[in-house]
Amino acid sequence: MTVMLPDDRKIAFQIKSAALITADSVPGQLRRWSTSAHRDVPFVVVADRITSDARDRLNQAGCSWLDLRGHLRLTGQGLFIDSDIPSLLKPDGERQGITGQVGIELATLLLLDPAEKVGVRAAAKMLSRAPSSISEAFAALRTAGLVDEDNRPAVPGLFWELAENWKTVSRDVASVPMPRGGRDNAALRLGVEDVESTVGWALTDTNAAAVYGAPVSIRAGHPPDFYVPDQSTLRRAVQLLGPATASSSRAGRVRVAPVSLVCARRVDATEWTNEEWPLADPLFVALDLAQDPGRGREIIDGWTPEKKVGTRVW
């Protein structure tokens, strides 16, 4: 590719392409591209999707890039362009990657058991979705390079793509229930009995990360974060526990799980810790931590869960 400047000078660029670029994939991709590039000729990275963190890392490396969803950054001698542009994706390309709620649910299912080969019908049954919807979601993931030909997830690419789509609705509360014997426990649907075979509340974020042994510093009495199964449970929790008047005075936070698997695939930690609350699977704890681009990312970079409780996919 050659760029013509107003003074008639020309700057040549080599093109390096990828379907998806994430913050974690940048170092390895840059090494490969630098090895194969012609010396003294800068390259521009062209990808269907470049995450925001990956853009920052490419900028720090002084690399030019084009996100086909609609942003161009070119740097060179006497040249600097950093601007939104019209999307260059083909109409069917807009459905690449994680698409809609079904795509989020499918990505979650695949990352929970990354070594398992999951077919369309099996996934449809587990997620209570139509096979046609699952097939479309698989096709979008495959086109974006986020699953292989056997429908196994590309890690950590799929994790970081899911992290960008991991949105929750939450409320701060003035008190938190007792995990055992509270008078409102039944109404709150805590589900502290038969944890791994029932649906209920799941401890997540920093408190859960600490229980799992992640490298996180946490003070005593740190307000816990819980996933609850649905909106009605969240409303009931705020009603019974009281809304916090300010974030600084909150006793805890309840948030609606983005997918039902969060509250259906909980971990009972009572056999190996003093934590009585059921834990969210390490995958969901990592997704929560990933929302903090600073300290949260540092924590999960240094955290590999024990095999008995989860698999590192980040």
Concatenate the DSSP letters of all residues of 58-72 into one string: HHHTT-EEEETTTEE
pLDDT band at 27 (very low <50, low <70, confident <90, very high): confident
Owner of token pair 């936070």: 253
pLDDT of residue 94: 47
More confident residue, 91 or 95: 91
In the structure encoding, which two tokens stand for residue 61, read together?
Answer: 């490396």
| Model confidence, pTM | 0.75
Could you give the CA distance from residue 21 to residue 66 in angstroms, rounded to a whole number?
11
Map out the domains of the chain as residue ranges: 2-84, 93-164, 169-301
With 70 as the cut, is the pLDDT of residue 95 above it?
no
Length of the chain: 314
pLDDT of residue 119: 94
pLDDT band at 88 (very low <50, low <70, confident <90, very high): confident
CA distances from 35 to 16, 31, 206 (A): 12, 6, 40
**Among the residues of 75-196, which ranges form H helices?**
100-112, 120-127, 131-143, 157-164, 185-188
With 60 as the cut, is the pLDDT of residue 209 above it?
yes
Q: Which range among 25-34, 110-119, 133-142, 144-153 shows the weakest confidence by mean pLDDT?
A: 25-34
With 90 as the cut, is the pLDDT of residue 121 above it?
yes
Mean pLDDT of 2-31: 82
- Taking only the tens place, the pLDDT of each residue in 37-81 is 566 788 899 988 888 888 999 999 999 999 988 999 998 877 889
pLDDT of residue 23: 82
- Taking only the tens place, the pLDDT of each residue in 159-177 is 999 998 999 999 999 999 9
More confident residue, 296 or 293: 296
Mean pLDDT of 233-258: 94
DSSP 280: P
